[in-house]
Amino acid sequence: MLEDTSRHQRKEDVEIEVREAPRFIVPLNGPTELVEGQSAHYECRIEPYPDNTLKLEWYHNNSLLQTGG
């Protein structure tokens, strides 16, 4: 019988120090004109990657935009 060694494996998290502000590497794309209440989908790519501490929020007229499916 073989022993399950997956329970005994050690996982190490590697910390990455990020020293620069995030920047767009692919321009934001999505609709530019919407009717109030209309759904929209926007995509972009930013650096630095990976940065597990990065939190991205979108605002319009100082109000946080809600995300959803």
Q: What pLDDT, in 10s, does the model give residues 9-59?
A: 666 666 666 667 788 888 888 888 888 888 888 888 888 766 777 777 888
User: Is 15 domain-assigned?
Assistant: no
Q: Which residue has the higher pLDDT, 38 or 69?
A: 38
Establish if 6 belongs to a structural domain. Answer: no
- Is residue 2's pLDDT more than 80? no
**44 and 24 in contact (C-beta within 8 Å)?**
yes
Domain annotation covers residue 35: no
The tally of domains found in the chain comes to 1
pLDDT of res. 62:
92
CA 15, 17, 22, 24 torsion: positive or negative? negative
In a domain, 52, yes or no: yes
Range of the domain at 67: 22-28+42-69
pTM: 0.47
- Report the sign of the C-alpha dihedral through residues 33, 36, 40, 44, in that order: positive
pLDDT band at 66 (very low <50, low <70, confident <90, very high): confident
Residue 37 lies in a domain: no
pLDDT at 15: 67
Residue 13 lies in a domain: no
Q: 60 lies in a domain?
A: yes
